């Protein structure tokens, strides 16, 4: 889709083009979604980290009730500083339990997920929810600067370390670790499942293909047009190689559930379908006549699926 000529001329000037000439077909300021393709080995290597580095896990119990314990946790991030989050554990279960890495939406933080994590722990899982790098620094989640790329890479490394935390937990079965991400967490999960090989299952709830997919969609076209040409092009150049949709095809060893809403106001059905099409064969795709928050049936379907995949306790 081409932008209006007046804007094309303005952005062309910002890129050094002559304002006296009409825009040409290779106009660098055209707003268009890139052709993503599949991630290369070099791009996958961007998310490598030192698995032998000390975790420096810190845990502070905050509450215990109804057989569930909630603790604040932190651990060393491969990107520097500490990852903060919440660990929620069942106290009345014997034997090894499934572990779940839980990822919030945008904007949001791990604390937003405590209620849901408590429910999962009540069903027998050990759950860790972490703060995305943008939630730890404050300010706008996406700033259209180079740091957006660095923070997305850091998040995937931090999530891998969250798996390390669960595997180090004496009550977690290493063979039954799952990922659960909603909205932004679902989109980033599409990247995470293509990198992390120790996940048995992953539930991606109302995801799109990633930040580039989101900001080049029709709902954000006017906003993208408001950015200077150089800013937009630099951001797309940095973010496109790490777009989650480029990685999901490589999640062949992980059972996938993708849940989408036909009336989703934030993730258009067409964008959801593009991600579905990039998923590996065998992924479970479920649609609901609902918006971005889905509905109760989606919630029950997700719990049943997790029960089947990792042994989450079945509800009566």
202: domain CATH number is: 3.40.50.1820
* Residue numbers of the chain with a pLDDT score lower than 50: 1-26
Task: With H, G, I as helix, E, B as strand and everything else as coil, classify residue 69.
Answer: strand
On whether residue 283 sits in a domain, the answer given is: yes
* pLDDT at 109 (0 to 100): 98
Pair type for strands 58-65 and 68-76: antiparallel
On whether residue 9 sits in a domain, the answer given is: no
On whether residue 72 sits in a domain, the answer given is: yes
* pLDDT at 78 (0 to 100): 96
On whether residue 12 sits in a domain, the answer given is: no
Question: What pTM was estimated for this model as a whole?
Answer: 0.90
On whether residue 14 sits in a domain, the answer given is: no
Q: Which helix (H) or strand (E) holds 187?
A: helix 184-195
Cα separation of 244 and 188, whole Å? 6
Cα separation of 223 and 255, whole Å? 36
* pLDDT at 220 (0 to 100): 86
On whether residue 127 sits in a domain, the answer given is: yes
Dump pLDDT digits (tens) for 119-172: 999 999 999 999 999 999 999 999 999 999 999 999 999 999 999 999 999 999
Q: Is 258 exposed, middle or buried (0-12, 13-18, 19+ CB in 10 A)?
A: buried
Q: Is the dihedral of CA 222, 223, 226, 231 positive or negative?
A: negative
Structural domain of residue 182, as residue ranges?
Answer: 47-310
* pLDDT at 1 (0 to 100): 33
- Written as six digits, the tokens of 189 are 């999960």
On whether residue 215 sits in a domain, the answer given is: yes
Structural domain count of the chain: 1
Pair type for strands 97-103 and 172-182: parallel
Cα separation of 40 and 195, whole Å? 12
φ and ψ of 256, to 5 deg: -120, 135
Query: CB of 138 within 8 A of CB of 98?
Result: no
* pLDDT at 30 (0 to 100): 80
* pLDDT at 6 (0 to 100): 29
* pLDDT at 28 (0 to 100): 66
On whether residue 5 sits in a domain, the answer given is: no
* pLDDT at 315 (0 to 100): 63
* pLDDT at 222 (0 to 100): 86
* pLDDT at 316 (0 to 100): 58
Cα separation of 174 and 168, whole Å? 9
Helix axis angle for 229-239 and 5-14, nearest 10°, is 80
């Amino acid at each position: 889709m081409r932008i209006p000529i007046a804007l094309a001329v303005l952005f062309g000037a910002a890129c050094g083009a002559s304002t006296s000439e009409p825009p040409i077909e290779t106009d660098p300021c055209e707003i268009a979604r890139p052709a993503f393709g599949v991630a290369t080995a070099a791009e996958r290597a961007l998310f490598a980290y030192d698995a032998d580095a000390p975790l420096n896990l810190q845990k502070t119990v905050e509450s215990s009730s109804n057989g569930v314990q909630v603790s604040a946790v932190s651990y060393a991030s491969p990107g520097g500083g500490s990852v903060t989050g919440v660990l929620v554990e069942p106290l009345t279960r014997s034997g090894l339990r499934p572990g779940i890495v839980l990822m919030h939406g945008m904007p949001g933080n791990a604390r937003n997920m405590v209620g849901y994590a408590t429910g999962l722990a009540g069903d027998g899982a050990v759950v860790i929810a972490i703060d995305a790098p943008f939630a730890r620094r404050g300010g706008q989640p996406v700033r259209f600067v180079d740091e957006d790329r660095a923070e997305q890479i850091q998040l995937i490394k931090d999530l891998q370390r969250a798996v390390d935390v669960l595997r180090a937990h004496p009550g977690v079965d290493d063979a039954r670790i799952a990922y659960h991400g909603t909205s932004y967490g679902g989109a980033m999960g599409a990247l995470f499942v293509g990198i992390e090989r120790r996940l048995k299952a992953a539930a991606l709830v109302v995801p799109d293909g990633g930040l580039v997919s989101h900001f080049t969609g029709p709902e954000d076209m006017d906003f993208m047009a408001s950015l200077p040409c150089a800013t937009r092009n630099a951001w797309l150049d940095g973010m496109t190689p790490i777009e989650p949709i480029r990685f999901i095809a490589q999640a062949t060893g992980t059972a996938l559930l993708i849940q989408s809403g036909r009336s989703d106001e934030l993730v258009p059905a067409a964008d959801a379908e593009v991600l579905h099409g990039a998923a590996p064969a065998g992924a479970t795709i479920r649609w609901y006549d609902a918006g971005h928050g889905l509905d109760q049936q989606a919630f029950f379907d997700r719990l049943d699926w997790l029960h089947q995949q990792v042994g989450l306790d079945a509800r009566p």
